[in-house]
Structure 1
């Protein structure tokens, strides 16, 4: 799972952060997790109704952030 928006990421969070996000999203009710009995085992994730609703709001926020990425990168250079 990526922690990046338009190339502005947080690599210091590492793999543990990435692996915790899906489990946390399932517990929070944003995502459904289905284990598919197969060899090798498979897991399928899908958005719940709540997850789909919040996605609509986040899309606008992400678009707004992406417009400001150049300013963020300049600010990081100090």
Structure 2
């Protein structure tokens, strides 16, 4: 990172740390919920409602497991 990016990050962090902890937690939960909704909308648009759990798993964790491990997990969740 260059100095400008570091200073922007520092200002952002200082602003964020001024927000009370409970409010920061609520903000992060809201952002997590929104990202999940965006992901689910994209999956439904592409694949429809069928196998939603499968596609959510693959989108979130597909690169974290071998093909064999994914097969076992998908058998369990579908």
- TM-score between the two structures when normalised by the length of structure 1: 0.31
User: Whose Rg is larger?
Assistant: 2
Structure with bigger helix share is 2
Normalized per residue, the structure richer in strand is 1
